[in-house]
Amino acid sequence: MSTVGRNYLVLSDVHCRDWVADRAKDLIREHSLDAVILLGDITHFGPPQWAGEFIRSLEAKCYAIPGNCDPPGTLGFIERNSISLHARKVMVDGVVWGGLGGSNPTIFKTPFEMPEEEIARLLSPIMETGMVLLLHCPPHGILDTPFSENHVGSTAIRDLIDKFRPSVVLSGHIHEDRGIVKKDGTWYMNPGAAKDHYAGMMEMGEEPSLTLLDL
């Protein structure tokens, strides 16, 4: 891992709550955070331009992906106002970061869903061992259990994680399965839904450190 000790606020599932930006800025100041990681569902079925307005209101550098409740048009506003990691990877302080927004199919037929084959096609080219992986949808079997207690995460994502072993996997999507776990050497965090006053923090150094925060 990088030896640069940068710290990040991790947000997911804002769902068009205006107040989240002000509270996020409070946490940025309180914890001396360097940037924001935004894991999707910025809007609640639109409007797409709200995502750009929200990112600008954070007044911080932002790495972002869309969620399944963000219409596809949201991606353009993410790209113009942040560092988009949807089906992309970048180098951040000597560590590869990559990401994928949207989700596998849900029972709700939301606007940014993809079949598992499409998820594999988009995510495979950016996967690297030891990377930081930003996702909206969690991998199958890890922080992916809603109230139904069925695992609803992506099998394609889980297969790629098992193959490449990222160092950190950040995901949202499942509001009911907030938490931090370590499995087979990989750290996983679902920070919880920002709309429900939840967030997370990732501290990067010789080893990553993940913390759950109240928003």
Largest CA distance in the chain: 43
Give the model confidence (pLDDT) of 14-48 as tens digits.
999 999 999 999 999 999 999 999 999 999 999 99
Residue 2 has pLDDT above 70, yes or no: no
109 within a domain of the structure (yes/no): yes
- Residue 60 within any structural domain of the chain: yes
The residues pairing with 212 across neighbouring beta strands, listed in sequence order, are: 200
Q: Into how many domains does the chain fold?
A: 1
Per-residue pLDDT at 4: 61
Beta bridge partners of 91: 96
Does the residue 190 lie in any domain?
A: yes
User: For residue range 98-117, what is the model confidence (pLDDT) as tens digits?
Assistant: 999 999 999 999 999 999 99
Q: What is the pLDDT confidence band of residue 206, given thresholds at 50, 70 and 90? A: confident
Domain annotation covers residue 69: yes
| Residue 150 buriedness (CB in 10 A; 0-12 / 13-18 / 19+) | exposed
Please indicate whether residue 3 or residue 107 has the higher confidence score (pLDDT): 107
Quote the domain boundaries for residue 11.
Answer: 7-214
Residue 206 placed within a domain: yes
What's the whole-number average pLDDT of the chain?
96
Report yes or no on 2 lying in a domain.
no
Q: Is the pLDDT of residue 205 over 90?
A: no
- pLDDT digits 0-9 by tens, 113-138: 999 999 999 999 999 999 999 999 99
Structural domain includes residue 133: yes
* Distance separating the N- and C-terminal Cα atoms of the chain: 28
Residue 39 lies in a domain: yes
Measure the CA–CA gap between 42 and 100, rounded to whole angstroms.
14
d(CA 165, CA 64): 22
Q: Are 58 and 49 in contact (CB under 8 A)?
A: no
Which pLDDT value is given to residue 210? Answer: 98
Q: Which CATH number belongs to the domain containing residue 117 in this structure?
A: 3.60.21.10
Please give the C-alpha separations between residue 62 and each of 8, 27, 74, 119, in angstroms, as whole numbers: 9, 14, 15, 23
